[in-house]
Amino acid sequence: MKQRITAYHQDELNDWVAELECGHFQHVRHNPPWINRPWVTTQKGRESKLGELLDCIKCDRGAAKDNYK
């Protein structure tokens, strides 16, 4: 299910995590050659993707909302 990115935070390893409108979190790593997301490496790049849709596998599975705080 497609969900919009509403915010970001970093996990305990300092990897970037997208916060989705559904309440789930999804890592958005730049890890070439497997994952090519150079936009995640800068604040301007991350801000440019706010509102973009990501496929939320957790929604597809009916998972509870995530909580990192």
Report pLDDT digits (tens) over 13-32: 999 999 999 999 999 999 88
Identify whether 38 is part of a domain. yes
Identify whether 63 is part of a domain. no
> In which band, very low, low, confident or very high, does the pLDDT at 57 lie, cut at 50, 70 and 90?
very high
CA–CA separation, 20 and 39 (whole Å): 17
Q: How many domains are there within the chain?
A: 1
- The residue segments making up the domain with residue 7 are 2-57
Q: Which residues of 38-58 are buried (b: 16+ CB within 10 A; e: fewer)?
A: eebeeeeebeebeeeebebeb
Q: What is the largest CA-CA distance in the chain?
A: 32
